[in-house]
Amino acid sequence: MIALLLSGKLAMFASIASLEIGLPITAGLAAVALVGYLFGTRTRTQANKASDQRRQQEFDRAARIAKQLETIVANLRQDLVAHHSQLATFKRQLKHAQEEGHERAWEHLCGKAESMLGPTMQLAQQLSHAYDQIRQQSDALETFSHGRIDPLTGVGNGRALEQHLSILLSNTSRGKSIFSIGLFSLAGGANECEARDVASNVLLLPKLATLISSCLRECDFVARYGDDEFVVLMPQTPLSGARVFANRVRKRVVVELTANVCCGLAEVQAGDDARALLARADSALYSAKAAGHNRLFVHMSGQIREDQPPPLVKAVPSECEAAILTA
C-alpha cells in the first residue's frame, strides 16, 4: 500500500517535472518505475530476512528438542541398565537360596530384597519424571505438525485424536490401564430458552477449547470433534473421575462464558475399538442434548442415565451445638 501511494505521488511529480523542464514523460515514468522497484526490492528483502530469521529460530528450537529427547533417552537407558544388573544379581541369589533351601539362605535373600527396594523405588520415580519430560517434548514437537492442530481452536484435530485414542486402546488391550472419554457440546445460553445459532457457537468454540484445556491434567488430551464438539481423553481415570472433570467444566462454562454445555461420558470396555467407544459417548451426549441445557449423561453397564449430583447431607449437630440451638 505504501509503495502504491509513493509510486502515485512520484508519477504525478514526474508529469509536472516533464512539463516544467522539458523532460520526456517516458523518461520521468521510467525514473518512477526504477524508484518503485528499488523500494519494493528493499521491502521484500527485509521481509525475507525476517522470515529467514524466524525459520532459523524454529530450526534452533527443533534442534534443542531433539537434544533434550536424546538426553532423556540416554539417562533412561543408563538407569535401566543399572537396575537390570541388580535384578540379574538378585535372580542368581534367589536360585542359590532355592538350591540350599535352609533358613540362613532365606534370610540372606530377604536382606538382598530389602537392599533392592530402594533402587527400584528410585527407578520408578525416574521413569515417572522421564515420562513427564517426554510428554513435554512431544507437545513441543506437535507445534511443528500443523496437520494435528485444529486451526480455529488450537487443540488437537481428528488426526491427533485418532493417534492418541489408538495408543490408549492398545494399552488397555494389554491390561495396563483403563480410561474414560468425554464429549462436550455447546448448548443454549444460561438465560436463553433457545439454542445458540451456529455463528454464536463458532465465536464461543475457541473460548470453550481454552477453558477445557485449563481443566486438563498433564496426561489428558482434548481435540475438536465435528463442528461444535470436543473430545476429552482421560487416561487412568474411571467413570467417577470423569464425572468430577465434566461437572467442573460445566460450572466454569456457566460462570465464565455465560453459556452451557451438554456432556456425554463413557468408560473403555474390554474389546472396545475407537468407533464403539466414541459411539457410546456420543449416545450419552445425544441424550444430554435431548434432556435440555447443561446436562450430563453417562453410558454405563449398557445403559444411559443422567448423572445426578449426590444429595447434600446435613451434618448431625454435636451435643454442644444442639444445646445452643435449643437455648
Q: Give per-residue pLDDT as tens, 204-220.
A: 999 999 999 999 988 89
- Looking from the CA of 179 toward its CB, the CA atoms found within 13 Å total 27
Grid cell 511443528 is found at: 144
Residues 6+ apart with CB under 8 A from 6: 35, 36, 39
Q: Of 37-51, 99-113, 172-186, 268-282, give the lowest mean pLDDT range.
A: 37-51
pLDDT mean over 270-283: 94
Is pLDDT of 3 > 50?
Answer: no
Q: Where are the beta strands (DSSP E) in the chain?
A: 179-186, 221-225, 229-235, 261-267, 296-300, 303-306
Positive or negative CA dihedral for 5, 11, 13, 15?
negative
pLDDT at 273: 92
Half-sphere exposure of 72 (CA within 13 A, CB side): 19
pLDDT at residue number 253: 94
Q: In this structure, are residues 221 and 233 in contact, taking their beta carbons and an 8 Å threshold?
A: yes
Q: Can you give the pLDDT at residue 9?
A: 46
Residue 253 sits at φ, ψ, to 5 deg, of: -65, -40
Higher-confidence position of 72 and 204: 204
pLDDT-based confidence at 18, cuts 50/70/90? Answer: very low
Phi/psi for 297 (5° steps) reads -120, 150
**Cα 8 to Cα 165: distance, rounded to the nearest angstrom:** 59
Cell 525475507, residue located? 48
Instruction: Look at residue 137 and tell me whether its pLDDT is greater than 50.
Output: yes
73-130: pLDDT as tens digits? 888 787 788 778 777 877 887 777 777 777 777 777 787 777 777 777 877 777 766 7
Could you write out the DSSP letters of every residue in 146-203? Answer: GGGB-TTTSSB-HHHHHHHHHHHHHHHHTTS--EEEEEEEE---TT-SSPPPHHHHHH
Quote the mean pLDDT of the chain.
76
CA 261 to chain centre: 19
Q: What is the pLDDT of residue 277?
A: 95
Q: Which strands sit side by side in the sheet containing 261-267, from one edge to the other?
A: 221-225, 229-235, 179-186, 261-267, 296-300, 303-306
Residue 193 C-alpha cell reads as 430458552
Report the alpha-carbon angle 74-78-112, nearest 5. Answer: 160
Amino acid at 218: E
Quickly count: other Cβ atoms within 10 Å of residue 50's Cβ.
10
pLDDT digits (tens, 9 = 90+) for 297-313: 999 988 999 987 644 33
Neighbouring CB atoms inside 10 A of 246's CB total 26
Q: Closest Cα partner for 212 from 234, 240, 194?
A: 234
Residue 219: predicted pLDDT:
86
Report CA-CA distances (Å) from 236 to 53, 178, 186, 219, 270. Answer: 43, 5, 26, 9, 15
CA distance 18 to 176: 85
Q: What is the pTM of this model?
A: 0.58
Question: Residue 143 in 3-state DSSP?
Answer: coil
Contact predicate 309/247, CB 8 Å:
yes
pLDDT higher than 70, residue 14: no
Q: What is the pLDDT of residues 234-249, one digit of tens each?
A: 999 999 999 999 999 9
- pLDDT score of 37 more than 70: no
Query: What radius of gyration, in Å, describes the C-alpha atoms of the chain?
Result: 32
